[in-house]
Amino acid sequence: MRKALLCIFLFVAVTLTAQTVPTAAAPQSGGSIALPAAAHTGGMSLNEALATRRSVRSFEETKITMEEIGQLLWSAQGVTSDKAQRTAPSAHALYFLHLYVARAEGFFEYIPALHALQPISEKDLRATLSTQETVKKAPVVFLIAGEYERAARGVERATAERLVNLEAGHAAQNLLLEATALKLGAVPVGGIDPKQTAAAAGLPAGIVPVYLIPVGHPKK
């Protein structure tokens, strides 16, 4: 009896321990990396985030956690309904954006439907994405890119460019406000060479960089 009780105790202990193991870096099918669930309530009020948002260009070396990365990604392109609607508006809900993350650990694409990261490269690409020191030295750099050719199907090229750029602006502002709410610093960098950035990131043809957003803990 005592042996049986001991076995039951060990089984329960192992089960409870397994349930408390973080899944932030757990591989999913296809090699994607699950992100911690994003918070949908609480935190800093929108009015406070709007009032305190500032462009920050100097960062501490402190790393950004996977929880923070996941929350920032969700704010920019997270799915918010069973109809696959997202946090940022898109013309006819066609969603022309791709969102990437550059870290010391590698380069990843955000998969909104899974709230996961898809590894693309194990290289640290931050210093190659831009000549700006803010981008090179930030703990994390977010890259927003758009599909201009797909957006141009059925509309004039000028209209397509405007739609993609507007969508990128919506997503970027969401990310900037979320960074503020998380007490992080960030700055939108639009002065980039799209061809250089696309080549450095190894982006597929037709996906064009629009914004780089370096994020980190503000330097004191």
The mean pLDDT of 66-70, rounded to a whole number, is: 98
CATH topology of domain 25-216: NADH Oxidase (3.40.109)
Tokens linked to 97: 């954006």
Domain locations along the chain: 25-216
Question: 30 pLDDT band (50/70/90 cuts)?
Answer: low
pLDDT at residue 87 greater than cutoff 70: yes
Greater confidence, 148 or 29?
148
**What is the pTM (predicted TM-score) of this model?**
0.85
Average pLDDT over residues 119-136: 96
Predicted confidence (pLDDT) per residue in 194-216, tens digit = 999 999 999 999 999 999 999 99
User: What pLDDT, on a 0 to 100 scale, did the predictor assign at position 220?
Assistant: 86
Classify strands 116-121 and 140-146 as parallel, antiparallel or unpaired.
unpaired
C-alpha pair distances (Å), 38 with each of 31, 67, 186, 202: 20, 8, 19, 28
Q: How large a percentage of the chain has pLDDT more than 90?
A: 85
